[in-house]
Amino acid sequence: MINFNIEKIVPLCSAFGITLDDDKIKKLNLYGNLLIEWNEKINLTAITEPEDVLLKHFYDCILFFKNVEVPQGAKIIDVGTGAGFPGLVLKIVRPDLKVTLLDSLNKRINFLKDVIEKCGLSDIEAIHSRAEEGGKNQKYREQYDIACARAVAAMPTLLEYCTPFVKPNGLFVAMKGPSAVDEVAASSNAINLLKMAKPQIICETLPNNDPRSFVISKKISQTPPKYPRNSGNISKQPL
């Protein structure tokens, strides 16, 4: 069993009001071990050194709570969740949240379900679906307080994937690197068409000096029915 030394980030998290108690530390450590174990069978992450997993995955995701106001019991969908970042970390740290993890690859969904079961998490589901199909499904369309994504696609494409899931007055949150300012500048048309407010960009630096950015946009009104388009149009003609 690998020890990811979650205790090292406890004071960093407490500085912005997040308490990592023994139960949360235990679950994050188990999650990390399952990530490394499954990564030998399917490609989940290129980040496998324990220190890197701690900072570049776990702490990076927990920074979400420093920069985004997340109401008690909020419904969150993590679009293109991959190995569960940030959605699974958000759920472990804030058990009150109702989380949906959405990914297009069933192998990753099987991994996520294994983590959910072994960590004993409730009010969380892992859904096998493409984002553009899920966004048309009335079970998920405009049902969430927050739609988030981390390292999935360029901003115009990401906006079309994610914003159909968000309730009016809810939030879209993209976790990005240093390119956030340029990506937002290239997204003004998508922002207008998808009925989103001008995004706020918050820059962060991880303890290892890696730059991070949170792009946060509020949904002004309902997404026009034509969006999201099919995957071919989204990729060939970004908004």
Q: Is the dihedral of CA 119, 125, 129, 130 positive or negative?
A: negative
Classified as helix, coil or strand, 187 is coil
Across all residues in the chain, what is the average pLDDT? 96
CA distance 52 to 73: 30
Residue-wise pLDDT for 82-117, tens only, equals 999 999 999 999 999 999 999 999 999 999 999 999
Q: Indicate yes or no: pTM above 0.85.
A: yes
Which CATH number is correct for 72-236, 3.40.50.150, 1.20.120.1780, 3.40.50.1100, 3.40.47.10?
Answer: 3.40.50.150
Residue-wise pLDDT for 63-85, tens only, equals 999 999 999 999 999 999 999 99
pLDDT for the residue numbered 154: 87
Residues 49, 201, 78, 193, Cα dihedral to 10°: -140
